[in-house]
Chain A
Amino acid sequence: MLLTLLLVGVVSGVLGGLILALLSTGFNLALGVSRVVNFQHGAVVLWAMYASYLLWEHTGLNPYLGMLFIVPVAFVIGYFLHRWLIARSLDTPEDSQILFSIGLLIAFQYLAQFFFSTDARSLTEESLQHSFIAGPIFLQYTQIVAALVSLVVLVLLHLMLTRTNLGRSLHACAQNPTGARVAGLNVEHLSAVALGIAAACAAVSGTALATLAPIFPERAFEYSLVAVVVSVLGGMGSMSGSILGGLIVGIIIAVSQVTGYGDLAMAIVYALVFLIFLVRPTGLISAIKR
């Protein structure tokens, strides 16, 4: 019985973990390339959730089709947010920059609360309301589709980062901004592009999460913290670290839910990450790669 529960937990944890992996990959990319601790990441996720909810409610559009509109908008917003605002905060010391992004998080979160109030809303798309049953495993289509979409975007992102010129330029910025500048790269532009990609990742995971969980403004802070936690757990500035971290956090959450400790799931995750902070601040992935 316990084994079945664990199996169910692990399977749905992997599915949920893929979404978290995408969520934190965006955060991690911005951290690596632009050296921005963007705590406002969760606010972008929140706004994407509301955007897909509103599109779905008013037009009846499938949220994953709506995503095709939301993602480009998120990219543009992320790009100009960095160009006009966040880039200025990079001159201040590192810890001021964290506060700066927390300020942005508060502003965006409460702007959402102003427009949409604190009521929880749910996106219940008809075509996704089925479930898949194989023996003891019970999965909802929403979970499977959300995970698959996240996986596809993660793969595309990986290909973009390793196979294209843009990806190589972003790598160059991450490794050595001065060197990248000497080689003729426009570092300011590329940093803003990284923030744009981060916002686009947040938009995809926001759409996926909107189909799974109720939407309310306090989610913004929660998702920001999750993004930080997952990135740190796996390894800051590393995409494979984000995926590893996302899967671990997803499995911990799902397993504690099926075993009846769902309320304490995040406390367990936070405690684990705090321990990782102490003994291996570079994240788990560095232990494997060595």
Chain B
Amino acid sequence: MLSKLTDSFRQQGAALWLGAAAVVVVAAVAAPWINPYYTRVMTMGLLCGYLAASWNLIGGYAGQMSLGHALFFAIGSYSVALLARLQDVPLVAALPIAVVLSVALAWIIASICFRYALRGIYFAVGTLLLAEIARILVINSDTLGRSQGLQIPAMEGARNFNFGSDLPFFYIFLAMAVALALFCLVLERCKLGYDLVALREQEEGAQALGVDTNAIKRMSFVISAGLTSVGGVVYAGLVRYVEPGYDLSLTITLFMVMGAVLGGRGTALGPFLGGVVVVIVQELLITVGSQFGTTSVSALAQMIYGLFFVVVLLVFPRGIVGQLLHRRIDRKATQGSVGATVEAS
């Protein structure tokens, strides 16, 4: 019975992965032919999905809800903005710098937080406080452009993220998303992935099984932070502008969290789906709002977005993909044995 169940679970997973692969191929082929506006929306959707999947490593798989990921995103975007001031240095060089900086910072934060056993709301608020401290410091720093932010001048050449059009960014984000999805797939099937599931379900239990929970929490926080900063670098290369009110705000963190929550925390594909849906919903709200010609459309769109958040959490507490996987398993579980619920998690 149990083996049958795992088989069907694998089939279900395979169907999902095949569907995702088909979507990726269709999107990659169609991108040059469709309206640039849609390409732009899809690019932002992929970015949001990528960021959500990065957040998912610590917030989903490890179950430690970080609300401070804006910090790592901003390390990425600000290192591009600061490098742009130096002559002769290609902006691509921001990539290794940002990754090293954010990995180092994440290592320190994670070592401190998990050493002192910050969990649940304490970890969430603690990381939020760190991001807010960083925001206040940036707002008071002339080098970092205070609250006005920094402009990134247009520079020649692909090594300065200047491709002549925005289309290559679509492919960059697509490649990043595919790579990250494959990474998550591998992660789910290697020891770290199983350890993370054990940790998320019951920390004490995992410790009793010999899992060094602090080490794996730190590991996933560090990987998550590094990946997030890569997203920040490419984002800054695309929009050519950084400001603390966006790059370092709760808004950008909530983009990541929302994508992951809507798609399904702790699933490999969910955050990508969730991220794309979040961006599409926001774009729809703005488009529909501008039809009515209200001046404060964006405020209303943001308000509906907040309500959307609330409704999603009530209706799909496990997220779309999480719900799909779970429903299949629940149905099996009612027919089968208790073992099924274990398999589900």
- Our verdict on whether A and B bind, yes or no, reads yes
Q: Which residues of A contact B (CB under 8 A)?
A: 37, 85, 88-89, 92-96, 98-100, 102-111, 113-114, 117, 217, 221, 225, 228-229, 232, 263-264, 266-267, 270-271, 273-274, 277-279, 281
> Does B128 contact A114, Cβ atoms closer than 8 Å?
no
Closest Cβ of chain B: how far from A111's Cβ, in Å?
Answer: 5
> Does B300 contact A114, Cβ atoms closer than 8 Å?
yes
> Does A107 contact B132, Cβ atoms closer than 8 Å?
no
- Across-interface contacts of B304 in A (CB, < 8 A): 107
> Does B303 contact A274, Cβ atoms closer than 8 Å?
no
> Does B314 contact A105, Cβ atoms closer than 8 Å?
no
- Across-interface contacts of A267 in B (CB, < 8 A): 132-133, 136-137
- Across-interface contacts of B125 in A (CB, < 8 A): 228, 232, 277
> Does B309 contact A98, Cβ atoms closer than 8 Å?
no
- Across-interface contacts of B133 in A (CB, < 8 A): 267, 270-271, 274
> Does A37 contact B121, Cβ atoms closer than 8 Å?
yes
> Does A270 contact B129, Cβ atoms closer than 8 Å?
yes
The complex places the Cα of A214 from the Cα of B301 at a distance, in Å, of 25
> Does B124 contact A95, Cβ atoms closer than 8 Å?
yes
- Across-interface contacts of B122 in A (CB, < 8 A): 277, 281
A106-B302, A114-B303, A225-B132 given as contacts; is B139 within 8 A of A277 (CB)?
no
24 residue pairs of the A-B complex, CB under 8 angstroms, read: A89-B314, A92-B317, A93-B317, A99-B261, A100-B313, A103-B306, A107-B306, A108-B303, A110-B303, A110-B305, A113-B302, A113-B303, A114-B300, A217-B299, A225-B129, A267-B133, A270-B129, A270-B130, A270-B132, A270-B136, A271-B133, A274-B126, A274-B129, A281-B122
> Does A92 contact B313, Cβ atoms closer than 8 Å?
yes
List 9 additional A-B contacts (Cβ < 8 Å) besides A107-B309, A117-B299: A92-B317, A95-B63, A103-B313, A105-B306, A107-B307, A110-B300, A114-B303, A271-B133, A281-B122
User: A278's contact among B112, B128, B132, B139, by CB below 8 Å, is which?
Assistant: B112
> Does B309 contact A103, Cβ atoms closer than 8 Å?
yes
A225-B132, A279-B116, A281-B122 given as contacts; is B137 within 8 A of A96 (CB)?
no
Closest 7 pairs between A and B when the two form their complex, measured CB to CB? A106-B306, A103-B309, A107-B306, A110-B303, A113-B299, A110-B302, A103-B310
> Does B139 contact A263, Cβ atoms closer than 8 Å?
yes
Q: How many residues of chain B are within 8 Å of chain A by beta carbon?
A: 40
The complex places the Cα of A266 from the Cα of B124 at a distance, in Å, of 18
> Does B132 contact A96, Cβ atoms closer than 8 Å?
no
Residue B257 CB within 8 A of the other chain: yes
Residue B250 CB within 8 A of the other chain: yes
- Across-interface contacts of B130 in A (CB, < 8 A): 270, 274
Residue B296 CB within 8 A of the other chain: yes
> Does A98 contact B314, Cβ atoms closer than 8 Å?
no
- Across-interface contacts of B303 in A (CB, < 8 A): 106-108, 110-111, 113-114
